[in-house]
Amino acid sequence: MIELYSEKEGIEKGVIEAEKDYYAMRGEIDTSDKQIRELQKSKESMDTLIQELQQSLNEVKLKLASLKERLSVEFEIDLDSLMDENPEVEEEYIEFSEEDLRQIVQKAKDKLEKIGPINPMAMEAYDEIKERHSFITAQKEDLEKAKNSLIETIKEIDQVAKETFLDAFGKIKENFIKVFRSLFTEEDQCDLTLLDPDNPLESAIEIIAKPKGKRPLTINQLSGGEKTLTATSLLFAIYLLKPAPFCIFDEVDAPLDDANIDKFNNIIQTFSKESQFIIVTHNKRTMASTDIIYGITMIEAGVSRVVPVDLRELV
């Protein structure tokens, strides 16, 4: 009996231990079931999210395809080729958030709206205008080169003209002083001055004469006879620079008195060795100093007659 009680107690202890293990395992099973249910819920949520993401991806693909088609049709742009040629573009924007990208896109849209609708002929018109601009620019450069060349040529011509003028002016001035003193006296003075020496080609020339006993005067302040002799001095000063084959004087001697007439006639005689002088005059002293006289008479109204007289034959 003792053995049976001992065996019974052993069995009861085993049952108790088995129950403990059962309940422990049962708890673990319940926990596992709970975790499984939670995992199933998570899986269902993930499946739903995957479906939503797949749907969003499909929508993005459709939008991208539509965008590619629009870029290809409206702008003749191949987006795939563009991305292959510019891989850094994707890297540049990959760190941006969706909101940032939307703002960038919106700014681009605003710029496009400001630009306005696209003119399909704009590129052709641009090419034509660009070609025209290049042509006009080339023409402008040629004109500027020609202008600069002309300016340099004008400067050279002005410089040569200035040097030539000043050289001639200096010689005429020397001749003027010599002839003036031959018509007046050696003590008399005269001068030619440039009123604007810095611009001799455009400058006025002042004729100054100082007959003996008078202060220096301009030619307009001289008497009639002095004006005539001074002007004659200037004419012969220019004549001496480049003597002409003949010269014509029309009543130049009219304002002169007898003394000055003789001075005038003497200088004519001097220069007549180089040139022929034709003088229109009413002065008898001038007529007497010439070689040939052509008298003009009117024997009847409206009929003039030329009477030549060679005074050299009377000598």
Q: How is the chain split into domains, by residue range?
A: 128-241, 243-315
236 vs 181: CA distance, rounded Å: 12
Q: Residue 196, Cα to own-chain centre: how many angstroms?
A: 32
For the chain, the first-to-last Cα distance in angstroms comes to 210
AA letter at 4: L
pLDDT in the model for residue 270: 87
Give one DSSP letter per residue of 132-175, joined into a string.
Answer: HHHHHHHHHHHHHHHHHHHHHHHHHHHHHHHHHHHHHHHHHHHH
pLDDT along the chain (315 residues), means of 10: 65 72 74 82 83 84 80 67 60 68 77 72 80 89 90 90 91 91 84 90 88 71 82 89 88 86 89 89 90 86 85 73
Structure token digits, residue 302: 């409206």
pLDDT in the model for residue 257: 86
178 vs 186: CA distance, rounded Å: 9
pLDDT in the model for residue 43: 82
AA letter at 131: E
147 vs 290: CA distance, rounded Å: 57
Q: What is the pTM of this model?
A: 0.53
Q: What three-state secondary structure class fits 247?
A: strand
Fold match, 128-241 / 243-315:
yes
- Helix (H) or strand (E) run with residue 267 in it: helix 258-271
Protein fold of 243-315: Rossmann fold (3.40.50)
277 vs 290: CA distance, rounded Å: 9
207 vs 230: CA distance, rounded Å: 9
pLDDT in tens, 86-128: 556 556 666 667 677 678 778 877 887 777 776 667 778 778 8
Is 2.40.30.10 the CATH classification of the domain at 128-241?
Answer: no
The answer to whether 170 and 191 have CB atoms below 8 angstroms apart is: no
Beta pairing partners, 191? 208
Counts of helices then strands in the chain (DSSP H, E): 8, 7
